[in-house]
Homo-oligomer: A and B are copies of this chain.
């Protein structure tokens, strides 16, 4: 179902998922006078604290989903692993953005890479793996080292294993749980960057400046904006975002993770992954732009005109993992640091507890 007209203030945005992304979406919606209704199964969901209404129920609870749909004007989500049946049920009752195609494409790594190839974008070499035999065939074609990933439900490095020259195939296959998988060739990249873009129901597109991303243990640590990349590469990233969102008839904010490789001295972008939602590497927009990725997503799904993605400051975003958030007093003493803490009750090693945006004046 498509949104028929822009949602006026006091309309209700339904959000599936109650983590920090849902929370920051709800805070952004409130700025615009829009209410949020959060649907999440975890009673301690951080987004519940800042939303006008919430439903604490399982994603398979059809009765709860129907009541949720009846209470909201549009449905969106903070995570890509929304069950297909949940999305289908809600999409029949209310406009769902991003739509079912974006969700299906990004939920399955093989479908995703096939889609990207089809629209002419560069990806790592890849092959579907269903069993030991197809894994052997894939290795023969792609070579080693390579990465074996489950097709579905992987994030932050979970559900993947690296195949070095001496890795036994049966052990790798067991390591990922012997599930439908994809084998991906290694990309010799110089940098990881990403592009955060929004597309409206009307097809309008707004793209933020490209951040350079640093990971540790598969978890994002830092995003630096602007990235030290050629202006042609920046333009190419924008083009990639436009092609993906247009091909998917996408509505909302999207995060596209990219590898930057060098070929014959020139920078080249290879698409790694699509996230059909606001993205951790876009958190810097909260303090360095007038319209954050969260407000932009709300504007997009609610049918509002997209905001300007202009950036008024340079910025380094750093995630606060586990105990790192305990240094909030020291962080609060830094004069040009925006602090964001997620209201999570329990700290665990590696858990995203918050982030900081350190601003410096633009140099251009």
**B-contact bits for A322-364, CB 8 A (1 contact / 0 none):** 0001001100110111111111010000000010000101000
CB distance from A292 to the nearest CB of B (A): 10
**Do the beta carbons of A335 and B359 come within 8 Å of each other?**
no
State which of A24-32, A166-174, A273-281 sits at the interface with chain B. A24-32
A1-26 near B? 1/0 per residue, CB < 8 Å = 00000101110000000000001001
Assess whether A313 is interfacial by the CB under 8 Å rule.
yes
Question: Which one of B9, B27, B52 lies within 8 Å of A27 (CB-CB)?
Answer: B27
Most buried by B among A35, A52, A332: A332
- CB nearest neighbor in B for A23: B30
A82 within 8 A of B: no
Inter-chain contact B305/A339, CB cutoff 8 Å: no
- The reply to whether B335 and A35 contact each other, CB–CB distance below 8 Å, is no
Chain B residues lying within 8 Å of A340, measured Cβ to Cβ, are 31-33
A9-B338 contact, Cβ under 8 Å, with A329-B305, A333-B305: no
How far is the CB of A334 from the nearest CB of chain B, in Å? 9
Partner of A336, one of B290, B338, B361: B290
Whether A199 is near chain B, meaning CB under 8 Å from some CB there, is no
A2 to B326, CA, bound (A): 23
Q: State how many copies of this chain the complex holds.
A: 2
Q: Does A312 sit at the interface, judged by CB under 8 A?
A: yes
Say whether A287 contacts B287, CB under 8 Å: no
Chain B residues whose C-beta falls within 8 Å of the C-beta of A130 in the assembled complex: none
Asked if A310 and B336 make an inter-chain contact with CB atoms under 8 angstroms apart, the answer reads: yes
Asked whether, in the complex, the Cβ of B33 is within 8 Å of the Cβ of A342, the reply is yes
15 example contacts (A-B, Cβ-Cβ < 8 A) are as follows A9-B325, A23-B30, A32-B340, A49-B51, A49-B52, A50-B51, A287-B290, A290-B336, A299-B332, A305-B329, A308-B335, A310-B335, A310-B336, A312-B359, A312-B361
* Chain A residues in the interface with B (C-beta under 8 A): 6, 8-10, 23, 26-27, 30-35, 48-52, 287, 290-291, 299, 304-305, 307-308, 310, 312-313, 325, 328-329, 332-333, 335-343, 345, 354, 359, 361
